[in-house]
Amino acid sequence: DVARRTYDAYAEIALLEGLAEKETSR
């Protein structure tokens, strides 16, 4: 359903942002 897809997309974005944060904090 839509809510599930939205949650998956949000989780993916959060994961990418977390990785980007790790890269820039070095």
pLDDT tens digits along 12-24: 999 999 998 888 8
Q: Name the pLDDT band for 11 (thresholds 50, 70, 90).
A: very high
pLDDT(26) > 80: no
pLDDT at 25 over 90: no
Predicted pLDDT of residue 5? 97
CA distance 20 to 14: 10
State the pLDDT at residue 3.
96
Closest by Cα among 12, 4, 6, 8 to 20: 12
- The gap between the terminal CA atoms of the chain, to the nearest Å, is 39
